[in-house]
Amino acid sequence: MSVPNKIILGVTGSIAAYKAADLASLLSKQNCDVRVVMTADAQRFITPLPFKTLTRNPVVTDLYDEDEGWKPTHIEVADSADLLLIAPATANILAKLAHGIADDALSCIALALNPRAKILIAPAMNGKMWLHAATQENVATLQRRGVEFIGPDAGMLSCGYEGVGRLWPVAQIAERALSQLKIGN
């Protein structure tokens, strides 16, 4: 039996956070070892329990969550990853990653990520937030560093506006994540 690919699934505070449970399920069914890291804002939309059940792994919800052993959880998780997938990704996490801000578990893991791991980001936010010059500059910065983006999609947004900002379809995010892992192997 092959060693499963290790994916960190970062879930941030978007209404689309509930869709990340389906994403975790799809990736787990493809023999991926999925470790979910939720921001505090993500937990306002969905609890850790579905992720824990679907991935059969503990969910990191705080920088100071500690497993057994001496190594800090955020370092252990970052060291072992093949892919960091953030879906949904808010404007806030994009700004943190672009500017090296590490003030929660997800942003610390992103900074401590092993250099061979790939990063795939699926944004989801209000269209004006996505199109704002600051967000676009942050995206460009991250792309220059080798971060890949999938989406966002256009359509009716949860805020009532029509436009770009929807989370890309979950099955397509999973497909792209799996293709990223094959490229790296």
pLDDT, tens digit (0-9, with 9 covering 90-100), for 101-156? 999 999 999 999 999 999 999 999 998 999 999 999 999 999 999 999 999 987 87
- 5-184 fold: Rossmann fold (3.40.50)
Q: For residues 167 and 173, what is the distance between their CA atoms, to the nearest angstrom?
A: 9
Q: For residues 60 and 142, what is the distance between their CA atoms, to the nearest angstrom?
A: 24
Task: Give the predicted TM-score (pTM) of the model.
Answer: 0.94
Q: Looking at the predicted structure, is the pLDDT value of residue 184 above 50?
A: no
Q: Which of 159, 161, 162, 171 is catalytic?
A: 159
Domain residue limits, the chain: 5-184
Q: Are strands 83-89 and 32-38 parallel, antiparallel or unpaired?
A: unpaired
Buried b (16+ CB within 10 A) or exposed e, 9-43: bbbbbbbbbebbbebbbbbbebebbbbbbbbebbb
Task: Report residue 3's pLDDT band, with 50, 70 and 90 as the boundaries.
Answer: low
**Percent of the chain at pLDDT above 70?**
94
Tell me if residue 108 is catalytic: no
Q: Give the model confidence (pLDDT) of 156-166 as tens digits.
A: 778 777 878 88
